[in-house]
A and B are shown apart, each in its own frame.
Chain A
Amino acid sequence: MKLPVSDSRSYAAFFRFRELGEHVVVTSLEGEWVVLRRDEFSAFANGKVEPGSDLDVRLQARNLVREHFDVRRAAETMARRRRFVHGGPNLHLVVVTLRCNETCVYCHASRADLDAVHTDMTPEIADATVDMILRTTSPHVTIEFQGGEPLVAFPIVERIVERAVEKNRSAGKQLEFTMVSNLALMDEDKLRWLLGHRVQICTSIDGAKSLHDKQRVLPMASSWDTATKWIARINAAYAEAGLDPTLYHVEALLTTTRETLSRWREVVDTYVELGCRALFLRPVDPFGFAEKTRRVVEYPRAEYLAFYRHALDYIIEKNRAGVEILERYAAIFLTKILTGDDPNFLDIRSPGGAGIGQLAYNFDGKVFSSDEGRMLAAAGDPTFLLGDVRSSSYREIVGHPTIRAMAIASNLDGQPDCIDCTYVPYCGTQPEHNHKTLGTMMGRMRESSMCAVHKGIQDILFEKLATADNETLEILRRWTTIRPREHFLQP
């Protein structure tokens, strides 16, 4: 389809732009992109591009020239980027207990002491939770066990896995299980059972031993020593089972506190030494800790972005030296930027995943939009409570008015600032975060710390795409390759 050209300024098709140093990032409506020099951008915006020139060819290739605008291609790309909207909830977080054997500086609302047995999920609620989960419309179901510490309520984990596998014989979902554990209560019997039932095991590592032990306190022992001992044991067990160690190994989650910021090199080295292939440099989130704690662990987002830049550069340096480890934020955004696909990371998509992509099930049967919604309720704000597995139907939960409001609030096509942002095709917002930090589910992006992080990281990535050498670009491209871990799918 050709659109009429009325004057020299009509050269460009619809575009958004953002200045980055000597360069200007230009994105199209559907998320095609190009990084231009300032003189090139001026020619583009003013319709002064020489027909047939190298710049003209590059811009046409990115569907940014009005006269050659390919409507069908744009529509197909937009549909591909939002393919997830047809899917339904695929991630189901189950809090089997609030009891935890560790005390972490950033965690209050998510834990209870070990004698708080009333925070264990009952067998009846566990059964109703499985039944609710398998009613999802999504053909892919991941059940993620969280806590508290799930190993404290291991019989409930076993019950849920066994019931889900049995019920799934008729439901026919592509089913997998993940458990997030501090590993301190792991033993050989539990490990054998988890491996036998193909439950993927993840843990938390906050950095080197001194930082990890300081932030995650395990009475009478080192939380670091126990976690790293079991990481090595589990990785060995995967290898003994004949699984490819580059694909099958324990992944760890980092919580970036104020103290982490200056220790980026140490964090990266630690993850590499532990055999991790991914590092997710997540900033601490605002849920579930007290104001006093916030002052200790929180930090301005500009300081976080400086930390991120240092750590990312060091990770790339490691890759250039032959170590394969990726940064998860970068991998999510680069997949969207470089491949046109969406990895369906539920907090960075539009509309967001609350309710329509994920649900969180509390030990007491209450269902929430997400784990963040559950943590807000634990702190006294039940805004994101959707129902109860014992009394609500699946359609009542997913069709809840709160979920409808969240889907609209997290659709960036209706969000001031986002609609003009160069990065809108790749971005997302989280209504729970907006509600907590800015007082409304929509939030105000100029004041949003989440927006600052997303925008800052994409600035860094586009700088790399504009200036990096071929080896670095190849490393960044490699991070967008997703190798499925089929062993963890239930047969």
Chain B
Amino acid sequence: MSESLFGMPPANVDADIAEGRVALTVDTSLHSLDAIYAAAYAFIGRCYVLLERPAPERVRVVLAPKPSGADGDALRALIGEFANELLSATWRREITRSNRALIEAVTMQAFAGALGSPSLDDLEAFQFGDEPFEDPLGIAQSWEEKYRKKPRTPEEPTE
């Protein structure tokens, strides 16, 4: 049975206290799927987390605490914490995008400082036969490889 929780807008938050679950319906024009995934993932240690698509531009996040028996107050605290984490994830994503160059520069310097140069042992352990790294932009390809005219495959339609 769907119930509202004190202080939570019923249009966004609904709970089934008897079943021990609570849900938040998220507007995806406010929060990206990446932010929803990030916030939801932070709760998988404590809850079973289910994502649903009840309507276009809406994602419904259902949290069911793993130890059953959560009462209304516990469900309210849980969904409130999720809402805060979601806002934090959304804003962090924006900040990280804005400050990406600075964050990358500091992180790279920190790791360059801590890792140092590879030793001969490290190089010896390197698996040169490993699969090549992912290169979706073709940065590691030569100009000829990247831009040469590709032969048409027989099933390709012609105009």
Tell me the A residues contacting B by CB distance below 8 Å: 82, 85-89, 136-137, 351, 355-357, 393, 395, 398-399, 404, 407-408, 411, 413-416, 419, 439-440, 442, 444, 446-447
Contacts and interface: CB of A to CB of B under 8 A. Distances in A.
B118 A85 contact: no
- List 7 A-B pairs, minimum CB-CB distance, nearest first: A137-B116, A86-B113, A88-B114, A85-B110, A356-B114, A416-B91, A440-B42
A439 B88 contact: no
A414 B84 contact: no
Q: Provide the main secondary structure of the chain B interface.
A: helix
A356 B110 contact: yes
B99 A419 contact: yes
Contacts of A399: 111, 115
14 contacts: A85-B106, A86-B112, A87-B113, A88-B115, A89-B114, A351-B107, A357-B114, A395-B115, A395-B116, A395-B122, A407-B110, A413-B102, A440-B42, A444-B84
Interface of B: 42-43, 45-46, 81, 84-85, 88, 91-92, 95-96, 99, 102-103, 106-107, 109-116, 118-119, 121-122, 125
A445 to B, nearest CB: 9
A446 B87 CA distance: 12
B106 A404 contact: no
Contacts of B92: 414-416, 442
A444 B103 CA distance: 19
B99 A356 contact: no
Contacts of B99: 413-414, 419
Contact of A414 (B103, B113, B118, B121): B103
Given A351-B110, A355-B114, A440 B85 contact: yes
A419 B125 CA distance: 41
Given A393-B121, A414-B96, A88 B103 contact: no
B113 A85 contact: yes
Contacts of B112: 86
A213 to B, nearest CB: 38
Contacts of A398: 111, 114-115
B103 A408 contact: yes
Given A85-B109, A398-B111, A407-B110, 15 more contacts: A82-B109, A86-B109, A87-B114, A88-B113, A88-B116, A136-B114, A137-B116, A351-B107, A395-B119, A411-B107, A413-B95, A413-B99, A439-B43, A439-B45, A444-B84
Contacts of A442: 88, 92
Contacts of B119: 395
A442 B89 CA distance: 9
B114 to A, nearest CB: 4
B95 A414 contact: yes
A439 B85 contact: yes
Which among A355, A393, A408, A414 has the greatest number of chain B C-beta atoms within 10 A?
A414
Given A137-B116, A442-B92, A404 B84 contact: no
A421 to B, nearest CB: 12
A324 B92 CA distance: 44
Contacts of A419: 95, 99
Given A439-B85, A444-B88, A137 B113 contact: yes
Contacts of B113: 85-88, 137, 356
Contacts of A404: 107, 111
A395 B107 contact: no
A416 B88 contact: yes
Contacts of A439: 42-43, 45-46, 81, 85
A151 B119 CA distance: 36
A411 B92 CA distance: 12
B59 to A, nearest CB: 19
Most buried by A among B91, B95, B96, B114: B114
